DNA sequence: GTTCTAGAAC
DNA sequence: GTTCTAGAAC
């Protein structure tokens, strides 16, 4: 991280004697504390003493009180001291901080380097290379890092410098090395990434032109930026540069009325704007996480904490998750303390670009895309705010029609919110408050889309042997993809796997079943390779396939009435020859191994047979979801929709999850279950 | 579709 | 070190 710090030592000519400093190093073993001290001491003209707990006992490990004593004595001699011990939690630091007084400044240097680096260094240093020792070192470092508490100015430090990488360390080294006996350094907290959210730092890093605020004051009560429309500039939005990160402008702001405030705080306590700042803010924006869950530290945690459980419930009513660039408006129930105490009527959750490489929409340093998403995020936010104003303007007008006019717009908003908090209105307004605006059309023409190479296999190139020319995007089937086609054409020669043969269909168990029961019903028509080949002429065949599937389901349900089935097609199958999947919804199978397996049955990629029948019947073809990204989407439970980080965890979850299926699956006979269970919520 | 495996993540 | 994913080959 870049540190924009005014580190020029400030000589104080009037003083004849400089102030000694206590510099408390904060960092895990292997973070480079000792090296830092030694290097500074080697080049500094200031007298330094390094107090190292590891060696203070005649070269051996000593105690904290020995360190304190030594430090006090060095300070008395007018020397500055480095406290070279881990000091990772507040309690560990407290007594060293007390060494400070009006004539002795206390600084912290936080060496917050990657755990991996600390571990490898500590392993090398002790000469215990090898698995066991390495593992132990890792365990020790990890344990320490889990408990770490970053220092805050409120602990009594006059200056804190955060270093997250080698160049930060080098910068800090330069600063302290250049510090002569009479020099002092500016007070404050420097170089800390926003402790609230990794995402925000990610954005800062991503926007290389952006200067990370050098002075990130850690004081929890400070409001770093609270913006009302009165302060916004009437200029066109441009979210590329640093001046746009915390400034808010755009058309939406023009719609705002006097006295209606939207607060967007990048950090600090946005939850006490009224009680501590006297600022009436009816709507607050939250830099949410994609799951729209509490926690994660920082603004998101603060808002959810302050709003109480009511916000979580209200949020879930609006949306389960959020895509980057989107916003969702959540009316805050009047039971929430944030409503009653602060007058906040709405929280707008908004999600910026995803900097987490483990998520499918990882930004991956795509600057242009990042700018688009940021623009979209701000637009969604303001659209959401504007919709609140519009809705409440009407409501307030109605409710205040016969009342004295109220000069305070903010008050109007609060009253309007009160009137609308009847359950019916909440339900009714649900849709109005969703702001998942898809602005992708506007982004068309961006470099990443125009410049994208289309793989040859995606263009209408055709393998004469096994594909036909239809002008659409088709691909050649690999040799491995022919198995079902061969079986459909010559079922008699595959009697070992085939369960049923008719003129129209062949039924077989999936060779690699993804659930306890997983059948394939193959169409026997030559040339009917997949759903995109289907036309109205095939409607009867599709019905036959569906009915054959249902017949087998019935059989399976007689054997095990607890099973629940779904019948459907993959939008883009891997195997040639149109085949209907008949699959039980336990997904209890060792063959279900990866994301693609899961998502091919549990996203829009899977098209329910009933829907296909309806579409082919009415439009003559099925609407395919030919979108590769569906297969790499995050892993979500098909029942409760919870997200899981990997397949093993997902499988462990689904083996226990008894939540009812989502409403969409409960409709239109998409799920098939035993008649005796039909009345029970599956 | 699966298998294999490099390398990332933990 | 083990677990897990994702891409290549088939």
pLDDT in tens, A253-304: 333 333 445 665 443 468 887 777 666 677 888 888 888 888 877 788 889 8
For A373-504, where are the E strands, in sequence order? 434-435, 498-501
A557 pLDDT higher than 90: yes
Q: What is the DSSP letter of A60?
A: B
Residue A613 CA to residue A621 CA, distance in Å, equals 9
Nearest CA among A9, A3, A28 for reference residue A115: A28
Q: Give the 3-state secondary structure of residue A311.
A: helix
**A510 has pLDDT over 90:** yes
Catalytic residue among A579, A581, A644, A653: A579
Give the pLDDT confidence score for residue A309 in this predicted structure. Answer: 86
Q: Please give the pLDDT value at position A110.
A: 92
Which residue ranges have CB below 7 A from strand C?
A 131, 135, 478-480, 594-595, 632, 645-649
CB < 7 A contacts with chain B (nucleic strand): A 357-358, 478, 480-481, 511-512, 570, 573-575, 591, 593, 597, 600, 645
- A10-112+148-192, which class in CATH? alpha beta
Tell me the DSSP string of A107-163: EEEEE---HHHHHHHHHHHHT--SHHHHHHHHHHHHHHHHH-----GGGT-SEEEEE
> If you average pLDDT over each of A29-38, A240-249, A447-456, A654-663, which comes out highest?
A654-663
In degrees rounded to 5, what are phi and psi of residue A564? -130, 135
Check if the beta carbon of residue A31 is closer than 8 Å to that of residue A120.
Answer: no
Q: Which two tokens stand for residue A353?
A: 């670009």
Among residues A578, A629, A579, the alpha carbon closest in space to that of A604 is found at A629
- Please tell me which residue lies nearest to nucleotide C1, judged from CA to C1': A131
Q: Stretch A56-68: mean pLDDT, rounded?
A: 79
State the Cα–Cα distance between residues A289 and A297, nearest whole angstrom.
Answer: 11
Look at residue A608 and give its three-state secondary structure: strand
pLDDT beyond 50 at A136 = yes
Determine what percent of chain A is predicted with pLDDT higher than 70: 70
pLDDT-wise least confident of A29-43, A217-231, A619-633: A217-231
In percent, how much of chain A has pLDDT > 90? 35
Kindly state the average pLDDT of the residues A513-529.
97
For residue A198, give the nearest of A289, A270, A107, A127 by alpha carbon.
A289
Q: How far is the CA of A18 from the C1' of B6 (A)?
A: 57
Q: pLDDT confidence of A238, banded at 50, 70, 90? A: very low
pLDDT at A269: 67
Specify whether the CB–CB gap between A155 and A89 falls below 8 A: no
Tell me the torsion sign for CA atoms A566, A499, A592, A564: positive
Closest CA to A655 of A665, A644, A666: A644
Minimum CA–C1' distance nucleotide for A647: C4
Superfamily per CATH, domain A457-677: HIT-like (3.30.428.10)
pLDDT score for A317: 79
Residue A611: how many CA atoms within 13 Å on its side-chain side? Answer: 21
Backbone angles phi, psi at A644, to 5 degrees: -135, 145
Q: Is residue A351 within 8 Å of A203, Cβ to Cβ?
A: no
pLDDT tens, position by position, A364-413: 777 777 877 888 888 788 878 877 765 554 443 334 333 333 333 332 22
CA distance A78 to A104: 9
Reduced to 3 states, what is the DSSP secondary structure of residue A84? strand
Average pLDDT of chain A to the nearest whole number: 74
CB contact set of A677 (below 8 Å; sequence gap of 6+): A561, A562, A564
Closest nucleotide to residue A594 (Cα to C1')? C5
SS3 A2: coil
Extended beta strands in A171-299, E state = 183-184, 188-190, 262-264, 283-287
Instruction: Name the nucleotide nearest A648; use CA and C1'.
Output: C4
Q: What is the per-residue pLDDT for A643? A: 92
d(CA A642, C1' C7) / Å: 28
pLDDT at A320 (0 to 100): 81
CA A536 to chain centroid, in Å, comes to 43
**What secondary structure letter does DSSP report for A678?**
T
pLDDT of the residue at A183? 87
What residues does A607 pair with on adjacent strands?
A569
Q: What is the mean pLDDT of residues A665-672?
A: 95
Average pLDDT over residues A620-648: 92
Is the pLDDT at A102 greater than 80? The verdict is yes
Report whether A507 contacts A519 (CB < 8 A): yes
Strands A10-11 and A183-184: antiparallel
Tokens for A337, please give them. 């303390």
Is A475's pLDDT higher than 50?
A: yes
Structure confidence at residue A213 (pLDDT): 36
All structural domains of chain A with their residue ranges: 10-112+148-192, 229-442, 457-677
What pLDDT does A131 receive?
41
Confidence of residue A598 (pLDDT cuts 50, 70, 90): very high
Q: What pLDDT is attached to residue A630? A: 92
The answer, yes or no, to whether residue A13 has pLDDT greater than 50, is: no
Q: Say which residue, A567 or A407, is predicted with more confidence.
A: A567
Where is pLDDT greater, at A162 or A386?
Answer: A162
pLDDT, residue A276, reads 72
Contact A564, A673 (CB under 8 A): yes
pLDDT digits (tens, 9 = 90+) for A456-473: 333 333 343 444 434 445
Active site residue A579: yes
For A216 and B5, how far is CA from C1' in angstroms? Answer: 45
Q: Which residue is nearest to nucleotide C10 (CA to C1')?
A: A480
CA A436 / C1′ B9 distance in Å: 32
Phi first, then psi: give them for residue A110, nearest 5 degrees.
-95, 120
Residue nearest to nucleotide C3 (CA to C1'): A648
How far apart (Å, rounded) are the C-alpha atoms in residues A257 and A229? Answer: 8
pLDDT number for residue A433:
34
pLDDT higher for A270 or A360? A270
**The pLDDT of residue A513:** 97
A322 pLDDT band, cuts 50/70/90, is: confident
pLDDT score at A257: 35
pLDDT (average), residues A227-234: 32
Mark the nucleotides of strand C covered by protein, meaning any atom under 7 Å from a CB: 1, 3-6, 10
pLDDT the model gives residue A310: 84
Q: What is the CATH number of domain A229-442?
A: 3.40.220
Supply the pLDDT for residue A41. Answer: 92
Q: Any bridge partners for residue A488, and if so which? A: none
Residue-wise pLDDT for A196-225, tens only, equals: 433 333 333 333 333 333 333 333 333 223
| Nucleotide C10 C1' to residue A613 CA (A) | 35
pLDDT attached to residue A336:
81
Per-residue confidence band for A52, with pLDDT thresholds at 50, 70 and 90: confident
Q: How far is the CA of A30 from the C1' of C1 (A)?
A: 20
Tokens at A497, concatenated = 């796997």
Higher pLDDT, A586 or A330: A586
């Amino acid at each position: 991280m870049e540190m924009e710090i005014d580190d020029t030592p400030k000589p104080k000519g009037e003083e004849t004697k400089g102030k000694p400093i206590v510099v408390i190093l904060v960092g895990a073993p292997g973070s480079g504390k000792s090296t830092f001290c030694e290097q500074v001491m080697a080049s500094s003209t200031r007298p330094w003493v390094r107090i190292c707990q590891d060696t203070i006992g005649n070269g051996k490990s000593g105690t904290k009180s020995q360190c304190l004593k030594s430090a006090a004595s060095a300070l008395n001699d007018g020397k500055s001291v480095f406290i070279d011990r881990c000091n990772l939690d507040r309690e560990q630091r407290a007594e060293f901080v007390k060494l400070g007084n009006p004539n002795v400044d206390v600084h912290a240097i936080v060496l917050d380097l990657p755990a991996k680096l600390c571990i490898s260094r500590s392993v090398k240093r002790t000469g215990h290379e090898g698995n066991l020792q390495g593992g132990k070192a890792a365990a020790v470092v990890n344990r320490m890092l889990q408990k770490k508490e970053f220092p805050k100015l409120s602990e009594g430090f006059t200056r804190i410098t955060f270093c997250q990488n080698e160049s930060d360390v080098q910068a800090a080294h330069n600063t302290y090395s250049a510090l002569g006996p009479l020099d002092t350094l500016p007070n404050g907290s420097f170089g800390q990434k926003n402790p609230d959210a990794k995402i925000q730092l990610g954005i800062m890093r991503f926007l290389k032109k952006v200067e990370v605020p050098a002075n990130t004051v850690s004081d929890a009560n400070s409001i770093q930026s609270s913006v009302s429309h009165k302060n916004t500039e009437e200029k066109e939005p441009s979210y590329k540069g640093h001046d746009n990160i915390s400034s808010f402008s755009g058309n939406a702001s023009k719609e705002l009325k006097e006295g209606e405030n939207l607060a967007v705080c990048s950090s600090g306590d946005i939850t006490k704007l009224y009680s501590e700042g006297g600022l009436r803010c009816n709507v607050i924006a939250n830099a949410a996480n994609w799951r729209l869950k509490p926690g994660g530290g920082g603004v998101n945690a603060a808002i959810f904490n302050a709003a109480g459980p009511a916000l979580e419930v209200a949020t879930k009513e609006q949306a389960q998750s959020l895509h980057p660039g989107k916003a969702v408006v959540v009316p805050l129930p009047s039971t929430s303390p944030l409503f009653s105490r602060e007058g906040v009527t709405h929280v707008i959750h908004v999600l910026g670009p995803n900097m987490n490489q483990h998520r499918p929409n990882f930004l991956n340093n795509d600057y242009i895309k990042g700018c688009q998403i940021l623009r979209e995020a701000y637009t969604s936010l303001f659209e959401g705010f504007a919709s609140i104003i519009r809705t409440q303007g009407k409501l307030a007008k109605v409710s205040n029609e016969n009342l004295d006019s109220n000069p305070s717009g903010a008050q109007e908003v609060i009253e309007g919110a009160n009137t609308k908090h009847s359950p019916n209105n909440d339900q009714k307004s649900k849709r109005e408050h969703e702001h998942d605006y898809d602005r992708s059309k506007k982004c068309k023409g961006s470099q990443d889309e125009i410049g994208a190479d289309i793989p040859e296999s995606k263009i209408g190139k055709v393998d004469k042997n096994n594909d036909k020319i239809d002008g659409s995007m088709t691909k050649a089937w690999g040799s491995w993809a022919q198995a079902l086609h061969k079986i459909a054409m010559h079922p008699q020669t595959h009697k070992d796997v085939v369960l049923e043969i008719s003129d129209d269909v062949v039924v077989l168990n999936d060779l690699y079943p993804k659930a306890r029961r997983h059948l394939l019903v193959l169409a026997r028509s030559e040339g009917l390779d997949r759903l995109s080949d289907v036309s109205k002429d095939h409607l009867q065949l599709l019905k036959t396939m569906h009915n054959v599937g249902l017949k087998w389901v019935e059989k399976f349900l007689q054997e095990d009435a607890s099973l629940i089935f779904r019948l459907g097609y993959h939008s883009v199958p891997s195997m040639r020859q149109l085949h209907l999947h008949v699959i039980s919804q336990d997904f209890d199978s060792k063959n279900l191994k990866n994301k693609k397996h899961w998502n091919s049955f549990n996203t829009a990629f899977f098209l329910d047979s009933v829907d296909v029948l309806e579409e082919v019947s009415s439009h003559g073809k099925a609407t395919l979801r030919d979108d590769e990204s569906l297969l790499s989407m995050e892993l979500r439970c098909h029942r409760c929709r919870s997200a899981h980080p990997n397949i093993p965890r997902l499988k462990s979850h689904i083996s226990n999850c008894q939540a009812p299926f989502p409403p969409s699956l409960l409709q239109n006979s998409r799920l098939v279950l035993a008649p005796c269970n039909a009345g029970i919520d599956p």
